[in-house]
Amino acid sequence: MSEAPTARAVWLVWGVGLLTYMVAVFHRSSLAVAGLAASERFDISASQLATFTMLQLLVYAGMQIPVGLLVDRFGSRSVLLAGTVLLVVAQTGFALAESYPVALLARTLVGIGDALTFICVLRLVSRWFPSRRVPLVTQLTGTLGQLGALGAAIPMTWALSRWGWTPAYLGAAGLGLALAVAALLVVHDSPDGRNLRGPRMSLSAAGASLVASWSHPGTRLGFWMHFTTQFSATALTLLWGYPFLVRGEGRTPHEAGLLLSLMVVVVMVSGPVLGLLIGRHPWHRSSMVLGIVAAIVAAWTVVLLWPGEAPLPVLVVLVLVAGVGGPASMIGFDLARTSNPVERLASASGIVNQAGFTASLVLVVAIGVILDWQTPGDSTAYTPEAFRWAMSAQYVLWGLGALQIWRYRRQARAVIDRTQLEAGVLA
């Protein structure tokens, strides 16, 4: 396209990209409501069931840099289509699987297909929207994309109870097929062309691109922002929030569920607000992140030092403040965007996206190890004191992350032109 795109065309391309990402999140989360059914179908233990989720997340994190390189080489449209088709194949395989190894392979492919979507949509946002709108639309993408997780809860629960395992997961696969057709018809890599290709990359060229991205202090600053802000909320929502609130803080299951749901609400509200703020004040992005991290640390400190069980209002403050960490992690992508040329944007985003998931997995494992150390041999006997020790592992990650943010913030500000940044020239 040589002419400037209409607003309708811009939002249509983004809308299809967003829906594709939402469906990827739906596929990622579709096992959350099927744990008991999966245990019965594959005759597996709780630890084997947990392997599905952990392997899927490990694959997702490990694929971020390769996916970034693929998007820089082949464009968002092609990689997005490949990811969507792979998710269809993976969910179909999961629907038909009757053995644990086959099911494990299918969930691994879900992780790969999932990894192929988000960076593609970020690249589309940077190509189609004016620079000043990119932070807001990026936040909207991350925030609204999580509706896929909510969509996986009620519809999949209903489908599993009404239709059974195979029809329910085949229906889920059908969603991906519909989005693949929509992406094929609607999505263009940029207003200037349907398919944009980067230069051919040898292994040495790919390595040089990654080194160039990582060498810019802005990319490193974005990496450590993502690392430091995301893990607390992710660990709570992924695995440890419910047991911490019930066994560590004496809340009822109903109260624990409401508190964790409240975290989803604050993510959806705070994301667009942060997007507007960083669009208007890009020079102060690191200050916003440091302030949010300080608030998260303060909220956790009050809860962990509270004599006995923390009151419900204190726990409400904790989940509200920790929940903001999810949207705050998206600020790291904006640092990658304004610190790298467009031909390296996807690979730089992949570097950043790896950080938070790595920190989250480290924390999830560390909490489990510390709980087992404090209550050896009996997972039903986790005590409030054991949870205080376990949740204190976060301070190590916060300390490391805050130190690195402060370090690279100074380096990034030394090489970034503030006037150009605030004028929207850097994109």
- For residue 196, the SS3 value is coil
Q: Give the chain's domains with CATH numbers.
A: 1-189 (1.20.1250.20), 206-416 (1.20.1250.20)
Quick one: pLDDT at residue 1?
A: 43
Locate 294 and state its tokens: 């300080």
Quick one: pLDDT at residue 425?
A: 52
- For residue 199, the SS3 value is coil
> What Å distances lie between residue 285 and 16, 175, 218, 333, 408, CA to CA?
29, 37, 11, 11, 12
List the one residue out of 226, 217, 222, 207 whose CA is nearest residue 66: 207
End-to-end CA distance of the chain: 20
H or E stretch including 257?
helix 253-280
| Tens place of pLDDT per residue across the chain (427 aa) | 456 778 888 899 999 999 999 988 888 877 766 666 787 888 876 566 667 777 877 888 888 888 888 888 888 899 999 999 999 999 999 999 989 999 999 989 998 999 899 889 988 988 888 887 888 888 888 888 878 877 776 677 788 888 888 998 998 888 888 888 988 898 888 888 787 777 676 777 778 878 888 889 999 999 999 999 999 988 887 677 878 898 899 888 788 878 887 887 888 888 888 888 888 888 889 999 999 999 999 999 999 999 989 999 999 999 999 999 989 998 998 898 888 887 787 788 888 988 988 898 888 888 888 887 887 765 557 788 989 999 999 999 999 999 999 999 999 998 887 776 766 655 5
Q: What letter does residue 162 receive in the DSSP assignment?
A: H
Locate 63 and state its tokens: 């694929």
- Residue-level length of the chain: 427
* Strand partners for 190: 193
How many of the other CB atoms lie within 10 Å of CB of 308? 8
Q: Which phi-psi region, left, alpha or beta, contains residue 165 (left: φ > 0; alpha: ψ -120 to 50)?
A: alpha
Quick one: pLDDT at residue 366?
A: 85
H or E stretch including 197?
none
